[in-house]
Structure formats: C-alpha cells, structure tokens
Amino acid sequence: MFKCDYKSLRLCFYEFHDVQAGDMPEYGNYCLLELKDGRHTAGQWYPKNYNDRQSIAGNFGRGTADSVDAEEVAKWHDLNGYDLTRLLEKEDIGRINLRNENSGDYYFEIAGFKSFKDGDFPKNEQFCLLILKDGTLAAGRWNQWRGEKGGQFIYASALASHSMDKVWAWAALSSDEIFEREEKQERERLKEEELNRNPSADPEKFKYGTDINVYYEKALEKLRGEYPWATLAQMKKRQPNYMIVPRHGQYIFGQDNGTIMGIQLFNEWTDGRTADEFIDFLCDYTRETVKNYNPETKFKYGLDIEVYLEKAYEKVKKECRWLNKDMLRKHCQFAIIQVDGEWEFARKFRNDKEFHVFDCSPADRFLECVENEYQEAALRENSVVAEYKVPFGCVEINGWYLERYVIYKLKSGDYKVSVTAGDRVTGGSREFFITPDCFEAKTYEEFLDRYLEIVPGNSFGLDKKDLLPNEELKEFFGYK
C-alpha cells in the first residue's frame, strides 16, 4: 500500500472556478465546493439545463435527497482525473500541491487524514474527502448503518456508496445541516442516557413495582373471569407489547416501537394515572386477541390439519374442477404447531425452510384463508389462452383510479379477472375467479348480475351500465 504517512499529509487544491462567472463543470462531474459562507463540501453537478454550460442553475448532488443549490456555491474544483499513486508511494511526502502552471495563488488545504485500520471512523452523517486505494480522490457522507462491515460513504442518489475497503484515508470536510442535526440528536441521546441512569417512579402509577409482567399477570387474572382459557402468551400475541422503561428520568408504561438507527422508540401510555387504570387498559388492549384463542372456536374441527385442508380442497375443487393436490404442494403448505405452549395455525411457502405462525381465528376464518390460497394456486396452474382488455375512461374508485381491467380465458374454459388501481403514491392488483355458476345464466344480463357479485362495480370500477353495452365483452364471455 502507499508509503507516505497520511497523519501528516496535506492536500492543497488550486485551480478553483468561479460560479458567479458562469464557469461551470461538465454534467455529472464530482467537485470539491467552497460555499459562500466559507464552508467546504463536495457534490456531483446536475445543471437544470445540461445543454447550457454557462447557466449556473442547478445543484450539486451529495446523495439521496441531499444536495447543494448552485446559488450557495462560490467556487468549485473538479475532483475527477486525479491519480496520486506515484506521489503517495513516497515516504517523505507531507504536502501535495494539486495545481498546474495556470493556477493562481488561491488554494484550499485539507489535513487531518485518518484511516479505518487505526480504528478511526467518521461521525455519523459527516461529509468527508476520501483518498481511495486506487490513488483517486472522492467524497461522501458517512453512514454508520450501511454495509456489512459497519458503514459506507454515500456520495450520489440511489445510495451509491464507497465501501470501507476501498478507502485508504479520509478527512472531514465542513459541518453541514445534516451532520449538525445528527450531532444534536446524539447530544440529546446522551442527555437522555444520563437522565435515565437513576429514574424515579410515580408511586400511584407503579405501586406494583417496575416489572411489566406483574401488570400483565394482574390483567390476566381479570380476563380469566371472561375467558377461562386466557394465558399470558395469548395476551402477548397482541403486538407491540407494553414495557416499563425510563424516559426523561421517569419510568413510563411504553409500547415498544422498535429501533431506528440505534435509538429505541417507545409510545408512552397516557390514558390514565394509576396502576389499576393501566391494568384495566391491558385487559381492553388484549381482550380481542384472547377471545380469538377460544379453543372451541379456533380449533372446532380438532388439531389435525388434514381435516381443515380436506374441507378447503373439496370446496375449491367444486369450482376449480382442474385442481389436484399436487398443484397445491408447489405453492403453500399449512400445519398446526405449538409455540410457547399455544397451538397455532402455521404456513410455509415454497422457499421457506420452516413453518411460520399464521394468526388466523376462528377456524372458519382460517378455512377461508386456505380456500383463497388454494384458489390462487389453482389459477396459477391454469394457463391463459386469450385475454380481453376492457376499455374505460377516467374511473375513480374511492380515491383511487382504475388503471387496468382485463378478462382472461383459461385453458380449462373458465375465466378470471385482473383489476389494477392506484393513486399518485401507491397501487395494487386483485384477481377474481369467475365461478362456473355464473355461466349457468340463460341471458347476458343475468350473467352480469352474478358476475358483479364477484367483481362489484362500486369496489372495482365498472358496473352493469358500463359492461352491458360492450358487445366485444359479451362475445368474449360466449354470450353472442
């Protein structure tokens, strides 16, 4: 690797270009920037009009949703094209002047380079100048949460990044709003840690102590008056669970909302002031979950999964006549397993190595879910031989807009429908099997009445008044 001492290395950048003079870099060039307030950063140039080299309208991108407007920049220096390999192989070099014979006297010097091999890491969200191991220069914002090895330098949109193993040395550039915000959050986190070292407890709210299981157990005693089968494990199926945690120096009842970037998040319970009120709240919070674990309704057909699967298979087979059990095994398997002492419905998809709890109760609801899975599996196994895209104009469906409405004829002679709708942010698709009893209708109007019970117009966009005049659709369904 390079022989020079990066700890004493200084890079001096000359040949800065003046933004106000309209002297802008080529589209996509990555540049060292001096801002009008004297700070230094770096970014990739994205002109508003890439055909106009003299226009200063645009921004220097530093990452996803992270850029500097050209109006904030005073000068720039192109970082592309450098290869410092030959210079960095000299042991005695301490300063490298990056200039040519036409450079003026103005320069920016950066020092204080560090290396990962010494155990030195930038602070999170710190923007840094990088010397890569191939001798080139780069820059990026340090994100300690990305990468398998514990951090990467993000430098462009779509989270393009320089990994640790590509960086020989790094030095921090000026602080910016993103870094300062991160520093503020870190100070607040440390302050919170200090406050929570010796938290106090409200005597009315925590009169039974600070063990959350005590409160769950007291709530369990009450619930068993309504539901004799209730268990602590059933209550804790309702997620997220409640915990007792310190916050701002005091214990609180809080809902665990997970961890984001190393900070654990809690949603504080504020619906009461006493321990007994919280216990009543826990009863209300978990009641529906416990109710659904009634063994008489959840497993009313017993604990043999084959009984449930056979019921679902026979029902779906009546409509999807081509269905056989070999088709089902390709897609999804079901079981009844025991988890934490509780019997649970479970399922395993094709690529899963083990079964996962399928929280579905009572038994008839589980059967409906299995039937839906079986019907989807059957449709996947029945190839399409023809399709008809139903024409439509602007169709609004409860705030969404219809995007696609397609009727498919299957190899077996049956039909299915695929409907797609969305808004400006998201969207979704649904498939429906048109059951054979629809085609027992003697007239097309009667057929549509049955069809629209499966694909109702108020839910999926097109009603009888829209479909009835369509002669091509009538013919596609075989009624002409």
Question: What does the pLDDT look like over 379-395, one tens digit per residue?
Answer: 888 999 999 999 998 88
Q: Any residues with CB less than 8 A from the CB of 129 and at least 6 apart, and which?
A: 11, 32, 42, 110, 137, 138, 139, 170, 171, 173
Q: Dihedral of the CA atoms 172, 178, 181, 187 (nearest 10)? A: -30
Q: Residue 53 has what pLDDT?
A: 64
> If we measure between CA atoms, which residue out of 189, 206, 207 comes closest to residue 243?
206
The SS3 of residue 175 is coil
Instruction: Provide the pLDDT for residue 303.
Output: 92
Does residue 360 share a domain with residue 444? no
226-263 pLDDT, tens digit each:
999 999 999 998 888 999 999 899 999 998 776 665 56
Q: Which helix (H) or strand (E) holds 193?
A: helix 177-195
1 falls within a domain: no
Shared domain check, 313 and 278: no
Q: Give the integer Cα–Cα distance in Å for 427 and 261.
A: 29
Q: Does 368 fall in a domain?
A: yes
| Parallel/antiparallel/unpaired status of strands 10-13 and 137-143 | unpaired
Digits of tens for pLDDT over the chain (480 positions)?
799 999 999 999 998 999 988 888 988 899 999 999 999 999 999 998 766 666 788 999 998 889 999 999 999 999 998 999 999 999 889 999 887 666 677 889 999 999 999 999 999 999 999 999 999 999 999 998 887 778 999 998 877 899 999 999 999 999 999 999 989 888 888 898 898 899 999 999 999 999 999 999 999 999 999 999 999 999 998 888 999 999 899 999 998 776 665 566 788 999 999 999 999 999 999 999 999 889 888 899 999 999 999 999 999 999 889 988 888 877 778 999 988 888 889 988 877 888 888 888 789 999 999 998 898 889 888 999 999 999 998 888 888 899 999 999 999 999 999 999 987 678 889 899 999 999 999 999 999 999 999 999 888 889 999 999 999 999 999 987
Asked whether the beta carbons of 17 and 76 are under 8 A apart, the reply is yes
56 part of a folded domain: yes
Inside any domain, residue 206: no
- The residue out of 293, 310, 337 marking a domain boundary is 293
Do 173 and 128 form a contact (C-beta atoms < 8 A)? yes
Q: What is the CA radius of gyration of the chain?
A: 33
Q: Within a domain: residue 202?
A: no
Residue ending a domain, choose from 293, 321, 341 = 293
Evaluate whether residue 275 is within a structural domain.
Answer: yes
pTM tops 0.95, yes or no? no
Identify the pLDDT of residue 147: 79
Residue 64 domain boundaries:
10-172
CA dihedral 232, 224, 216, 274 (to 10 degrees): 170
Residues 322 and 464 in one domain: no
Residue 120 covered by a domain? yes
Claim to verify: residue 29 and residue 154 sit in the same structural domain: yes
Whether residue 159 is found in the same domain as residue 220: no
Q: Which helix (H) or strand (E) holds 184?
A: helix 177-195
Residue 208 identity (one-letter amino acid): Y
191 within domain boundaries: no
Tokens of 198: 């010796």
Half-sphere exposure of 119 toward its Cβ, with a 13 Å CA cutoff?
A: 0
Q: Are residues 308 and 433 both part of a single domain? A: no
State whether 281 and 302 are in the same domain: no
227 and 264 fall within a common domain:
yes
Distance CA 277, CA 287 (A): 15
CA angle 18, 31, 100 (to 5 degrees): 70
Domains of the chain: total: 4
* Residue ending a domain, choose from 157, 172, 187: 172
Q: Is the dihedral of CA 421, 449, 415, 314 positive or negative?
A: positive
Domain identity same for 452 and 376: no
37/146 same-domain check: yes
pLDDT attached to residue 340: 82
In whole angstroms, give the CA distance from residue 142 to residue 42. 13
- Within this chain, do residues 335 and 226 fall inside the same structural domain, yes or no? no
Q: Give the per-residue pLDDT at 359.
A: 80
Provide the β-strand partners of residue 259: 264
Beta-carbon contacts of residue 141 (< 8 Å; ≥ 6 apart): 62, 63, 66, 125, 126, 127, 128, 153, 154, 155, 178, 179
- Judge if 156 and 23 occupy the same domain: yes
- DSSP letters along 196-224, please? TTS-B--TTTTTT-S-HHHHHHHHHHHHH
The DSSP-derived string for 235-303 is HTTSSSPEEEEEETTEEEEEEEEEEETTEEEEEE--S-SSHHHHHHHHHHHHHHHHHTT-HHHHTTT-S
If phi over 0 gives left and psi between -120 and 50 gives alpha, with beta otherwise, what is residue 164? alpha
Dihedral of alpha carbons 394, 395, 401, 407, sign: negative
